[in-house]
Structure 1
Amino acid sequence: MSDAIADLRKEYSKESLDIDSADRNPFKQFEKWFLEAQKAEILEPNAMVLSTTNQSNQPFQRTVLMKAMDTDGIVFYTNYKSRKAQQIEENSRVSVLFPWYAMERQVCIQGIAEKVSAATSLKYFTSRPHGSQLGAWVSQQSSVISSRSILETKLAEMKQKFKEGKVPLPDFWGGYKIKPTSFEFWQGRQSRLHDRLLYQADGDNWQVARLAP
């Protein structure tokens, strides 16, 4: 098994990333790559691995979906009583990784997570499919449950409760916006001499540097 794993390798040769041709604004560079990921029909191009830490500085990761992005940051939604939300309340410094492996690319973004307004959460919540709206009410995210039947029973209760009207936004559910402090764009290259560009916030500007692979 170990030898078989050690022998797994792939030469990266699809693209390059040059500091002179990359956009000086990391948000615009990200948008360019994100649109290319959509065009390439990458599975869930908006999926990102969110990293948080607990009070003991133990890191945790999980995949969440980016649901909005503007020049101020990246937005995702969750249960505010979930483990990730509790950890963000303890330490708002987070990072996310977009793993676009099929394109031999990764983007890592570090930043500060802040709750979005209730109005923003409501606007997104009402755009979700009906089943997803009910699901937000059903799951006490990250809590221990004895069986899946508990979820199914709770879902049936929610269907009955809201059968004659719109599903309201739970007060324990909403969004976070990650306001970036750095971006790292990674492009796989041959002989493991990958291209890496690091953007770091400097007031209202961004400093860009090439990193050794």
Structure 2
Amino acid sequence: MTKLADLRKSYIKGSLSEEDVQKNPIDQFNIWFDQARHAELPEPNAMTVASVDENGKPSARVVLIKEVNHKGFVFFTNYESRKGKALTHNPQAALLFFWPELERQIRIEGSVEKLSDEESDEYFHSRPLDSRIGAWASPQSQVISGRSVLVAKAAEYALKFALNPPRPPHWGGFRVKPQALEFWQGRPSRLHDRIRYTQQAYGIWKIERLAP
């Protein structure tokens, strides 16, 4: 049986330099994200969201990114879930995209804000019906006695709302407004490329290379 300490691979698929990256990190993100999509990776839009609660305890989970622009990175959740409560209490988050097939990862750190009701409504009503019912049926992060609870709640809300469930008041979007982003490209001999963007005044981004 192979020991965990013996699991390793050499990274040879790409390189990244300060001279070649875009001046704005969102533009650089979009280039890499498009390449991940064209490579037909499984769920390239999956990212890890890390938060810290009121007791200083960190937690992380994978969610799906739903929008990226120069305002930030948007995802949706139940505001009463563990991550929802943590991000409301401590509106700071770290995001991580990991695309092993391309030997790349992107780390993002920034402040968090809730989307407006109008923005959350727009996305909610674009979701499939079963997902909209599910937002009502699931008391996310709470202990339940069994799956039958969810099934019964889904049936209850499907009967109540039929084809037009409104957005639950406890469900909506968060936007992570980036203050620092790091683009990591695997390289041979563990001499990886790490390019970090740090937000400066007047919308300027400082670009630096970090040691691997």
Corresponding position of 1:147: 146
Percent identity, aligned pairs only, is 47
For 1:205, the aligned partner's letter is I
Q: CA deviation at 1:74?
A: 0.6
Q: CA deviation at 1:176?
A: 0.4
1:17-53 deviations in whole A, cap 9, x for unaligned?
0110111110000000000000001111111100001
Corresponding position of 1:168: 166
Corresponding position of 1:85: 84
1:76-134 deviations in whole A, cap 9, x for unaligned?
00001111011011111110000111110000000011000000001000110110000
Question: How far, CA to CA, are the matches of 1:127 and 1:55 in structure 2?
Answer: 33
CA RMSD of aligned residues (A): 0.9
Corresponding position of 1:103: 102
Q: CA deviation at 1:56?
A: 2.3
Corresponding position of 2:189: 191
Q: CA deviation at 1:156?
A: 0.8
Corresponding position of 1:48: 47
Aligned-partner SS, 1:51: strand
**TM-score of the superposition, structure 1-length normalised?**
0.97
Structure 1 residue runs of 5 or longer lacking an equivalent are none
For 2:161, the aligned partner's letter is F
Corresponding position of 1:7: 6
Report the number of matched residues: 211
Q: Structure 1 runs of 4+ off > 6 angstroms?
A: none
**TM-score of the superposition, structure 2-length normalised?**
0.97
For 2:6, the aligned partner's letter is D
